[in-house]
Structure 1
């Protein structure tokens, strides 16, 4: 059975479009013949249903029937009512990396590749010494960083890319999510010229998902465990 490294989906801040992007990536990989699993390790603002995790789970099951043996508890191991960073939302509860790892292993066993959606941005605290970016290492995942296209996106994007580089992360891709045509038009005039000059290409969630998928997905031999 062919296995691929998991993909961790994060963003330059909250409400940028991580779930939407994850769904688009899920559909693209499924169309390419892969059995895709999904995971939302931590979801806050749950009252009482984890909306993002449920949407991911139901969509994934429609493409990968093997996931029907799981429950939402496997997909979203930690859920908190307060819409805040996990460190705050959890109160006195301890978030155990081993619980997250065990949940991931159950999903991975039923999938060719697992998409893992973070909460908020990379520097969102989970525990005092455990941040959202630590999930990349916990799951040995490649990372897809989603940026917004509004004024200020250049600064937000470059700060996040600088963080990834400072952490020694080199197996990542980034893209821009456009929520409306008006924002996209302004982006193309105000921010896109600099980004294209700096990076040469700027991938769009709406237009370039097949290219994003190709950039992120690499074959792994499960017997040799080599990426």
Structure 2
């Protein structure tokens, strides 16, 4: 089966999904000529050059090798940094899986590999009945789990992996990202997850005061090269 993309999720918000996604794009670009990142839903915009933009989407664009219309790589950009369903409701929008799948289909015609970065954790609500997990299931992509290394990460990581598999998707690998530089027993926590997650560890990201995706060393699954 030809590899054409993956879905990046995290144990929580603020665990470094965008950093890892950008690093994955840089790594994938060594093996595939046309790679592009997609942020289906971004909640929380900043003003740049007179326009309101999503910083996550900008980071993915900077790490992609092809330029695509913003309506495809970030079809939903919501003003307030809230859960997508709340931010959408306050903006008078309704966000659904179908429109996000359509945007992904458009990207597939422009790139060899499409990396999709989720928002928050696995079951973040999109609307009254759908979640980001429903989007991942609809896309049927292998999943990369970003684990934010801090107190409580073991439970969050194991429950998320359980949910991914319960939804019928393949956990292709996980990345350990050091979000708390003072975390006690960091290496022991990583070893515990290596034993229990039943998926390859693609890399350990050290603490970075200034995040730099190009400095992150990741190992791709063999079938992704």
Per the normalisation by structure 2, the TM-score is 0.82
RMSD: 2.4
Q: 1:199 to 1:94 in 2, by over 3 A?
A: closer
Per the TM alignment, residue 8 of structure 1 is displaced from its structure 2 partner at its CA by 0.6
Equivalent residues in 2 for 1:116-127, closer than 5 Å = 116-127=116-127
- 1 or 2, which has the higher helix percentage? 1
Q: 1:197 to 1:54 in 2, by over 3 A?
A: closer
- Encode CA deviations 1:181-218: one digit per residue, 9 max, x unaligned: 544x73114x23433443586442437612xx225627
Please give the alpha-carbon distance, in whole angstroms, between the structure 1 residues aligned to 2:223 and 2:126.
26
Per the TM alignment, residue 18 of structure 1 is displaced from its structure 2 partner at its CA by 0.4
Give the SS at the match of 1:16. Answer: coil
33-42 or 125-134, which moves further after superposition?
Answer: 33-42
Please give the alpha-carbon distance, in whole angstroms, between the structure 2 residues aligned to 1:208 and 1:58.
17
Check conservation: 1:151, 1:187, Cα contact below 8 A: no
Query: Which residue number corresponds to residue 36 of structure 1?
Result: 35
Per the TM alignment, residue 160 of structure 1 is displaced from its structure 2 partner at its CA by 0.7
For the pair 1:27 / 2:26, whether they are aligned, the reply is yes
Any gaps of 5 or more consecutive residues in structure 1? 219-227
- Encode CA deviations 1:33-71: one digit per residue, 9 max, x unaligned: 4321111000001132111101211321xxx2xx33x22
Select which of 46, 51, 56 maps to 2:55. Answer: 51
Query: Which residue number corresponds to residue 130 of structure 2?
Result: 130
Per the TM alignment, residue 122 of structure 1 is displaced from its structure 2 partner at its CA by 0.6
Give the SS at the match of 1:154. Answer: helix
Question: Which structure ranks higher in relative contact order (CA pairs < 8 Å, sequence separation ≥ 6)?
Answer: 1
Select which of 74, 77, 81 maps to 2:75. Answer: 77
Give the SS at the match of 1:99. Answer: helix
Query: Which residue number corresponds to residue 209 of structure 1?
Result: 218
Query: Which residue number corresponds to residue 213 of structure 2?
Result: none
Per the TM alignment, residue 153 of structure 1 is displaced from its structure 2 partner at its CA by 1.1
What is the aligned length? 207
Q: 1:96 to 1:196 in 2, by over 3 A?
A: closer
Query: Which residue number corresponds to residue 97 of structure 2?
Result: 97
Query: Which residue number corresponds to residue 178 of structure 1?
Result: 178
Please give the alpha-carbon distance, in whole angstroms, between the structure 1 residues aligned to 2:154 and 2:180.
18
Please give the alpha-carbon distance, in whole angstroms, between the structure 1 residues aligned to 2:2 and 2:194.
33
Check conservation: 2:164, 2:171, Cα contact below 8 A: no
Give the SS at the match of 1:172. Answer: strand
Q: 1:122 to 1:197 in 2, by over 3 A?
A: closer
Query: Which residue number corresponds to residue 169 of structure 1?
Result: 169
- 1 or 2, which has the higher strand percentage? 2
Q: 1:28 to 1:10 in 2, by over 3 A?
A: same
Any gaps of 5 or more consecutive residues in structure 2? 47-51, 206-215
For the pair 1:12 / 2:11, whether they are aligned, the reply is yes
Please give the alpha-carbon distance, in whole angstroms, between the structure 1 residues aligned to 2:107 and 2:95.
19
